[in-house]
């Protein structure tokens, strides 16, 4: 896309490690995308902001943060494999943000490319795939595609190595008899589906003698409407490696995906024409310092201007603004709504923060919200929807190579944690060690490599451990009495709480206050409730078995006796103590992370792969057959998957492909729980 738009003078290739958007050394060494990259490119008098995202499950946060700011997406599938495990995750993430989608079937030059397989796998996702391209072959060579909307074929010369030049020819029933009838049949199916959605198209169908006579522009408008409303997903095809179909894909982005003005965020209307941005990514550039990536939703932006962070309640000053080109940045003097912008000078903004021009602009937006919703929520802030960081499933200790490097390590980890919301850095209250938690082995490995190459710190990592969760089996009530004098103030507190098991509840964020005529809980002020919830959060962060977070329960406040002099900090401490005591009495147990696996491999290795899964407590859900390959779908505890990717590559001579994602947390039996405790403490 960069080459055809004129921004690049050469074609990069993933397997050669010279692509522009995969600019990190770790990406080029491994031939994979690790971090999202932004590029703004011109195409036919339009500007397209491209965000290239990773496909590996360890870096799913990169996909999430990009989906939060884009107007449309292109889902790229291997035409011989169809929808794979990580595709399902990304598709559901896009659905969460209501992002319209095009589907691009890449690698149509492969002999195993299968349109029917791809369409069926998309339908299993709940998608409505509408085939608008059909591949054209000369013998067994993929040379182009037919567009059934405009009934034209696009043909590339097999002798062209750049793919810049191709012929556009109208389909002819005599000359193109091999594909013309199939195009007509697909066009009729397309019109039949769209006419139920678009009235203008249905009017043309009624007045046309033949469906082939329905004008292309009417079909295009109906298809664009269906795509923007997420009612359908146009399916295109091509071969990026052979340089076939990329320009047609870029045309389709303009034709079918919405412009920034066609997809208005609900919150944006409250800001009117005032400046409103959403921060979605932060990086630390070795020359430019901290750079903040943001999407401008409304208003205009210029350098040296002040912005107000709605989430943090602080003002910051922008020094310079840039347009991104992967790891290069072009300074500009002005940008308006719809653009992806890179800002220097911001120190206190985080991923997911909303920025506006002033506190007055925020208050005006807040007032418009009240007028439109008839709501008087004092704590409401007119903020755009950010991202939700995934739950870390691995953790390990990290140490500096020497005491002199400790501060450098802390600063480096602070930067890396700010860049990646799925990475958490904490300090153990017992040992004082620094603990890093993340999504997988590869993420931790990349972090260690970046510390060495970017920050010149040869950090030592402890053994990688599983991040379990804890929960309870039975309801329990607990009363705690605190009488303490702190700072000359007497704190008298008597609190009664109830813990109740609740399936799939996650970690509770709010406490359930059981107010009645016998207690004064209905009169609790907001600051007191906040203090109670802070105490609850503190207690539930450290379970009684191994100190992991406690989930799947409900906390009820049954009674609370305090005086006006009781401090909020002491109230939080009393709540935390009460919950801690209750957890020990409530038959706590461990929950382990279970991963959903998808393993594809040649059929001859079926028995070998199954033999590697059976001792790993795996549940085989399904075995599919895809053109000489088998695909096993299985659920397996994460603790059983250490070095599994290496093992299956070894036993299949590198022919197997493994993808996995977190599926759920499940209760461990007593034997497995004893093993887990022993692996952490060295004894039960």
The enclosing H or E element of 313 equals none
Task: Among 256, 285, 312, identify where a domain stops.
Answer: 256
CA distances from 53 to 6, 22, 131, 633 (A): 22, 10, 25, 25
CATH number assigned to the domain comprising residue 641: 3.30.70.240
252 with 277, same domain: the answer is no
Q: Are residues 461 and 476 in the same domain?
A: no
DSSP helix/strand/coil, 437:
strand
- Looking at the fold, whether 250 and 276 belong to one and the same domain comes out as no
**What global pTM score does this model have?**
0.77
- Whether residue 3 is contained in a domain is answered as no
Residue 443: predicted pLDDT: 86
Q: What is the pLDDT of residue 517?
A: 75
In the prediction, which pLDDT does 682 show?
61
Q: Are residues 484 and 462 in the same domain?
A: no
Structural domain boundaries enclosing 308: 268-373
Partners of 282 in the beta sheet? 292
Instruction: Check: CB of residue 268 under 8 Å from CB of residue 276.
Output: yes
What is the number of domains present in the chain? 5
Q: What is the mean pLDDT of each run of 10 residues along the chain (684 residues)?
A: 78 54 63 78 91 76 87 92 80 89 95 90 90 93 94 86 87 90 93 92 86 89 95 95 93 94 84 92 90 94 94 94 88 92 93 93 89 64 77 87 93 92 83 84 88 92 89 94 86 93 88 83 88 94 91 94 90 95 94 90 91 93 81 92 85 82 90 88 58
- The reported pLDDT for the residue numbered 15 is 45
DSSP state for residue 548 in the 8-state scheme: P
308 to each of 315, 354, 360, 632, 681, how far by Cα in Å? 4, 8, 9, 51, 48
Distance (Å, whole) CA 292 – CA 303 = 13
Q: Are residues 91 and 149 in the same domain?
A: yes
536/442 same-domain check: no
Please indicate, yes or no, whether residues 225 and 340 belong to a single structural domain of this protein: no
* CA dist., res. 22 & res. 52, Å (int): 9
Return the CA Rg of the chain: 28
One DSSP character per residue, 587-643 reads -EEEEEEEEEEEEEEEGGGHHHHHHHHGGGT-EEEEEEEETTEEEEEEEEEGGG-TT
The pLDDT value given to residue 71: 93
3-state secondary structure of 536: helix
Q: Is 432 among the domain residues? A: yes
Q: 491-530 burial by CB neighbour count: b if 16+ within 10 A, else e? A: bebebbbbbbbeeeeeebeebebeeeeebebeebeeebee
Beta strands in 207-305 (DSSP E): 233-237, 276-285, 289-298, 300-301
Same domain, 102 and 211: yes
In this structure, what CATH number is given to the domain that contains residue 147? 3.40.50.300
């Amino acid at each position: 896309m960069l080459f055809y738009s004129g921004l690049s003078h050469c074609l990069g290739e993933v397997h050669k490690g010279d692509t522009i958007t995969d600019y990190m050394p770790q990406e080029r060494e491994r031939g994979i995308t690790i971090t999202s990259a932004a590029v703004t490119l011109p195409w036919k008098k339009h500007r397209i902001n491209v965000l290239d995202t990773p496909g590996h499950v360890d870096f799913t946060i990169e996909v999430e943060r990009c989906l939060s700011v884009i107007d449309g997406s292109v889902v790229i599938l291997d035409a011989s494999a169809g929808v794979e495990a990580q595709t399902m995750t990304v598709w559901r993430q896009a659905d969460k943000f209501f992002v319209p989608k095009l589907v691009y079937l890449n690698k149509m030059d492969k002999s195993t490319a299968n349109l029917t397989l791809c369409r069926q796998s998309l339908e299993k996702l709940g998608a409505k795939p509408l085939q608008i391209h059909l591949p054209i072959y000369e013998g067994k060579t993929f040379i182009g595609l037919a567009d059934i909307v405009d009934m034209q074929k696009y043909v590339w010369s097999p002798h062209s190595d750049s793919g810049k030049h191709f012929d556009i020819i109208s389909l002819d029933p005599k000359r193109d008899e091999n594909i013309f009838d199939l195009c007509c049949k697909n066009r009729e199916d397309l019109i039949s589906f769209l006419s139920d959605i678009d009235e203008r198209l249905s009017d043309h169908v009624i007045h046309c003698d033949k469906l082939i006579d329905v004008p292309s522009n009417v079909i295009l408008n109906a298809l664009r409407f269906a795509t923007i409303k997420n009612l359908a997903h146009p399916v295109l095809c091509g071969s990026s490696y052979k340089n076939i179909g990329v320009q047609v894909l870029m045309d389709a982005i303009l034709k079918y995906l919405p412009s920034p003005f066609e997809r208005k965020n609900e919150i944006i209307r409250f800001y009117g024409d005032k400046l409103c941005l959403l921060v979605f990514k932060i990086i630390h550039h070795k020359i430019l310092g901290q750079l903040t990536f943001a999407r401008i939703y409304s208003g205009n932006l210029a350098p040296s201007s002040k912005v107000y962070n709605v989430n943090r309640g602080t003002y910051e000053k922008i020094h310079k603004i840039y347009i991104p080109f992967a790891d290069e940045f072009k300074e500009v003097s002005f940008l308006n709504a719809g653009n992806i912008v890179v800002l220097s000078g911001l120190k206190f903004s985080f991923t997911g923060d909303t920025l506006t021009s002033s506190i007055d602009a925020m208050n005006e937006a807040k007032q418009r919200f009240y007028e439109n919703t008839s709501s008087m929520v004092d704590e409401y802030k007119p903020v755009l929807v950010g991202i939700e960081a995934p739950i870390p499933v691995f953790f390990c200790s990290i140490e500096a190579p020497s005491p002199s490097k400790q501060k450098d390590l802390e600063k480096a980890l602070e930067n890396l944690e700010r860049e990646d919301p799925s990475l958490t850095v904490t300090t153990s209250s017992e040992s004082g060690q620094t603990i890093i938690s993340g999504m997988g082995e590869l993420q931790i490995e990349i972090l260690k490599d970046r510390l060495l190459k970017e920050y010149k710190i040869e950090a030592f990592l402890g053994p990688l451990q599983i991040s379990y969760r804890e929960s309870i089996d039975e309801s329990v009530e607990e009363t705690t009495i605190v009488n303490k004098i702190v700072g000359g103030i007497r704190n008298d507190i008597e609190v009664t709480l109830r813990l109740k098991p609740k399936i799939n509840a996650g970690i509770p964020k709010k406490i359930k206050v059981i107010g009645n005529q016998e207690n004064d809980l209905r009169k609790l002020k907001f600051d007191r409730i906040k203090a109670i919830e802070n105490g609850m959060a503190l207690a539930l962060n450290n379970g009684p078995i191994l100190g992991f977070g406690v989930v799947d329960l409900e906390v009820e406040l049954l009674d609370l006796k305090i005086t006006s002099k009781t401090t909020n900090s002491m109230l939080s401490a009393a709540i935390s103590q009460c919950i801690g005591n209750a957890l020990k009495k409530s038959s706590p147990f461990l929950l382990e992370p279970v991963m959903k696996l998808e393993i594809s491999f040649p059929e001859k290795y079926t028995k070998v792969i199954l033999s590697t899964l059976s001792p790993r407590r795996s549940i085989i859900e399904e075995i599919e057959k895809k053109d000489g390959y088998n695909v096993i779908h299985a659920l397996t505890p994460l603790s059983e998957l250490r070095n599994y990717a290496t093992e299956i590559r070894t036993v299949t001579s590198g022919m197997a492909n493994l993808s996995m994602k977190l599926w759920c947390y499940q209760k461990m039996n007593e034997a497995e729980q004893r093993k887990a405790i022993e692996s952490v403490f060295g004894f039960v």
